[in-house]
Structure 1
Amino acid sequence: MASEEQCEKALHVLADQLAASDSGRSAGFDRTLSCTLPDLGLVFGGRLVSGRLVDIERTDSSAAQIRLTMSSDDLLALVDGELKMASAWATGRVKVQAGVRDLLRLRSIF
């Protein structure tokens, strides 16, 4: 099980990766996002602004337009490239709760 500090750092690395990979296809995609890590009992929140993840902080609420749920180890594996988002979602290791349009837009970001 990863620590809170490792998970927060991983989310910031993810934010950097998203910013570096953005080729303009996510312009105007602005949503609130939460990442729940049940094994640690933690929730991190932030905002996707034109495909960039900003304002990442620990929060008490998972209420967001896009809600991700995964284990702390899966978060680290996703960021390290050891786990692909599509296969993690398909196998239930990552749960995504979002509207249909948001899910389609997320595919182009992750």
Structure 2
Amino acid sequence: MRMPLTLFTAAYLGLTAISMTVSAAPNEVNGERHATRIPITVTIDAFQFQPDKIRIKRGQSVIFINKDEVPHTVTPDKNGHFVSSGIIKGGEQHEVFFESAGVQNYSCDFHPSMRGRVTVK
């Protein structure tokens, strides 16, 4: 025998569905990606970091994937709080963990016009 769905159960299921929809929604505001609990991916393609501005939470990581055929680096500006990636060859990737809050600007040593920013909350 099936039991009727109570109003409380229906409300709970509805809120759960809404919660799941909100957490799966795209996380982009004003052209900047914002933090989720999974690593953020930044693609290096056509001599650009894409996206070039992201927001994450302390302890979160960013995976830089080089889709160019030439090598690149992810090097923090002089006040940066992370270690340079070293050379990332075409087809390779490098993961950076951001433990300190603040704005972290970075560039490519080989191509200084390639610049990006990670805002860590």
In the superposition, the TM-score normalised over structure 2's length comes to 0.26
Q: Which has the higher helix share?
A: 1
Q: Which has the higher strand share?
A: 2
In the superposition, the TM-score normalised over structure 1's length comes to 0.27
Structure with the larger RCO, 1 or 2 (CA within 8 Å, 6+ apart): 1
